[in-house]
Structure 1
């Protein structure tokens, strides 16, 4: 795959997304269509195969409209830039729905759409996690059935949304729906004819045909091997159905590989057997929790022949090199005695070929279950084979894990945004400091308590009321423990020097 190839999955830069939406909704759009090339020599045999299939499956396909709050990705500076844009072009977006009025701190609701699959008569709908966002996000959902009935946000419940599998389950308050029939994705054959059904580019109830091009493709983030098809899939197809000629669900359309933003010949779907296992687990346990052992796995740049020779291993040996062991809770690997430099070769008796192998094995283990690892460790110049047993923990949110390995990444769950009560009271946006010992100031609101205290962008807050702060949760606890209206003593690093200041918070509103 060339470096230009991108995975079409989610929105990119927040402010660019805002301007894109503004231009789309504020200006005129030119729609062009091209006629499909007529099929030659179509025999009567099978002429109506796809017509029959469409009649059977279309009632089970829905369109999912989403408005997602991206306020936690927009700084005060970007808000001001957007307000300036509105002032420069007042006729273009006088009152854009979902955006706050000029100068207000309300949410920015960005619209998008995808597809969904009805899997039960009583309203359960399967879709992609990236279509609806994380469970608990501030989103407004609207579902449109095949008969054009619209179901509003008040009648929709997000049951689960799981990033690693990119699957989500929602429930609408409706009965007597038409569920799709489950197929067996393990029985798919290369070259088998299939159809993709969904709402690409907001073109509802679109059906395209193709074949199975390959199975078990490792494409995109996550732990699920993908089905590759040449049935046309475009933005908006995500969450739609890939069906066999019997109208059975064999895949959930997920993504395309493209360097143009549109379809270029190949799309990818999550196998139906994985989707069914996800649904059954959620309906039984109320959630889908991935397993976690708490290690950082070295990439190919470190896990190479030279490194393996240095560890007294066979240069061709397959396995996972432990680059770091997590010390933050949860840390099963630390508890089990794993160390940096250990080379994992087996998990529960299964050979581990690479990082993805181990990730899949661990993520699919139940929280609280046991995992036996076989690994090699260099001791006194000799590589020794060892074993240990870990207790599987619940995997933390993906953005939290990313922030631990990439200090420049700001996890939503660790950021005090202005849209939150505490972030609004402080008047600043914080992120974990690169050294892990404090909170870096990413943005300060003019006129806020933080600005009055002399706090600036780039400062690092080391202590509050004499207590070290490393996370948003720790800071919140310190503030909650302080007396109402009492000033906060803040020790911070400013331009390389330690200094002390005081933040006077207003009383929290009831």
Structure 2
């Protein structure tokens, strides 16, 4: 029995310790497909160059400052040449190369250096600043070695990965680590980063993150660091995002993302209760400007639960799912409205062509003021419209003052906010608002829904109802 237990323990230990004895075979497999990228850019004298912060540039800046003080005649500003370094990888034998947009942005010349030492100029095919991806093309005399993309969705936290690139201009450097986390978001709407502890430094940008089969499962893009060097927190844009972008750049030279045409916010527990949802999920529609959603009948206060067969858990998932959908595709959207679900058919537009829309306007009512739920509420006048920068026919109630100890303040309401709806009904007088609150209390609701507009942004806020 003891022997069996030891055998099982040994088997688990062996499984847990499975790791490459060496990464050398993997390096040999992919090295010829990884490239160094050098860019040259003409920089105006007033701009900081790609190597801003180096001692020589600081010295010359100080020298120019002394001239400005009148000690010597000022030196006329001149344009100068700047250069930057990055990484990339070949994805086809006919010379398509993937890198980061920020590596080649504003470059006049792009030079590709291969592992063999050969160099070729590159042409920019297209870029996508939203995912920081760029596609280049070189004309080579013979077919190039290339690497395939892998499926980033099958990667697990703890899997081994290898990064290769041009850190700090050292050229063709390899580092290894594990997947530290998945589905990280930094700042972009379409972010889906793999976090890794494989050393990534400046110059690694645009280089590949490989799985152990030699497939690219991420494009090294960013690091978190207090000093600019690797501290083991690096981010690679996942391959399943990159491949869609690259396919569109190859076909069109630009991205063509789906566009639904709604403004949305997260659904928290209080909003779910106020709307009658069983759980806090989906994306709450706060505004529907002119566009595909409006034409299909989607309305403010709808909660989008399903988009084209995909269950929507939050706003980020909806944005990514819509963006990945083809332009002009007719999709089924399931929304929750007035206690029931409805299925609507929406023909998507193109995000890149979308224009900012102005909300529909209506008429205002006579001036009045009252204190409700810790807020001083005023009806909208022409004077207030002008002060708040609202459209001439904007309708609603203005929060002219607010008690900082109130639940409304805690929920983010501020003086100057416009209340457009209360209890899912448009309001234009204080009496309207009071009636909606009383109806909610009589119905036994625990919270009360307001539609708030601040500038061009609209959002729903659920305020707790208390007896007054």
Same fold (TM over 0.5): yes
Match of 1:317 in 2: 280
Name the CA distance, whole Å, in 2 between partners of 1:128 and 1:352. 29
CA distance in 1, matches of 2:261, 2:166: 39
Change (3 A) 1:216 1:304: closer
Residue equivalent to 2:24: 51
Task: Select the residue among 262, 266, 269 that pairs with 2:229.
Answer: 262
- Counterpart of 2:242 in 1: which secondary structure? helix
Q: 2:332 aligns with which of 343, 368, 372?
A: 372
- The runs of 5 or more residues in structure 1 that have no matched partner are 1-44, 75-82, 91-100, 406-433, 438-510
Deviation at 1:62, TM superposition (A): 1.4
* Residue in 2 that maps onto 1:206: 173
* Cα distance in structure 2, aligned partners of 1:70 and 1:169: 23
Seen in structure 2, the aligned counterparts of structure 1 residues 139 and 366 have a Cα distance that, compared at 3 Å, is farther
Specify whether residues 373 and 259 from structure 1 end up closer, same or farther in structure 2 by C-alpha distance, changes over 3 A only: farther
C-alpha distance in structure 2 between counterparts of 1:322 and 1:70, whole Å: 44
Q: Out of 56, 64, 86, which is 1:87 matched to?
A: 64
Q: Which residue of 1 aligns with 2:84?
A: 112
CA distance in 1 between counterparts of 2:157 and 2:269 reads 35
Q: What is the deviation of 1:121?
A: 2.3
Residue of structure 2 equivalent to 1:293:
260
Q: Aligned-pair distance for 1:200?
A: 1.7
The residue aligned with 1:147 is 116
| Residue 391 (str. 1) matches residue 376 (str. 2) | no
Distance 1:182 1:374, change over 3 A: closer
Q: Secondary structure at the match of 1:396?
A: helix
Other structure's SS at 2:115 match: coil
Residue by residue, what CA displacement relative to the aligned partner does 1:157-213 show, whole Å, maximum 9, x if unpaired?
221212333322110222432212444434434433221101122221110111223
CA contact (8 A) 1:319 1:352 kept: yes
| Matching residue within 247, 253, 269 for 2:214 | 247
Per the TM alignment, residue 396 of structure 1 is displaced from its structure 2 partner at its CA by: 2.2
Instruction: Work out whether 1:304 is the aligned partner of 2:281.
Output: no
Bigger Rg, which one: 2
Q: Deviations over 1:288-339 (max 9, x none)?
A: 31111122222x5xx43344444x3237331111222234xxx212322333
Cross-structure match for 1:122: 94
CA contact (8 A) 1:65 1:141 kept: yes
Count of aligned pairs between the two proteins: 326
- After superposition, residues 87-486 of structure 1 pair within 5 angstroms as 87-88=64-65, 102=76, 111-133=83-105, 139-152=108-121, 156-176=122-142, 177-298=144-265, 300=266, 303-310=267-274, 312-314=275-277, 316-327=279-290, 331-377=291-337, 382-396=338-352
1:239-260 deviation per Cα after TM superposition (whole angstroms, max 9, x unaligned): 1011233433232212223344
Contact in 2 for aligned 1:231/1:267 (Cα 8 Å): yes
Return closer, same or farther for 1:349/1:209 CA change in 2, 3 Å cut-off.
Answer: closer
Aligned-partner SS, 1:178:
coil
Corresponding residue SS for 1:318? coil
Q: Is the 8 A contact 1:291 1:364 kept in 2?
A: yes
1:322–1:138: structure 2 CA closer, same or farther, 3 Å change rule?
A: farther
Alpha-carbon distance in structure 2 between the residues aligned to 1:146 and 1:109:
26
Note closer, same or farther for the CA distance 1:274–1:103 as it changes in structure 2 (3 Å cut).
closer
Q: Distance in 2 between matches of 1:178 and 1:205?
A: 16
Q: What CA distance in whole angstroms lies between the structure 1 residues aligned with 2:108 and 2:390?
A: 31
Any idea what SS the aligned residue of 2:181 has?
A: strand
Cα distance change on mapping 1:316 and 1:368 into 2, 3 Å: same
> Does the aligned pair in 2 maintain the 1:166–1:222 contact within 8 Å?
no
TM-score by length of 1: 0.56
Residues 307, 235 of structure 1: alpha-carbon distance in 2 compared, 3 angstrom cutoff: same
Tell me: CA distance 1:215–1:325, structure 2 relative to 1, closer, same or farther (3 Å).
same
- TM-superposed CA distance for 1:397, in Å, is 7.6
Q: Using the alignment, how far apart are the partners of 1:129 and 1:85 within structure 2?
A: 32
| RMSD (Å) for aligned C-alpha atoms | 3.7
Q: For the structure 1 residues 195 and 321, does the alpha-carbon distance in structure 2 shift closer, same or farther, using more than 3 Å as the test?
A: same
Distance 2:229 2:286 in 1: 38
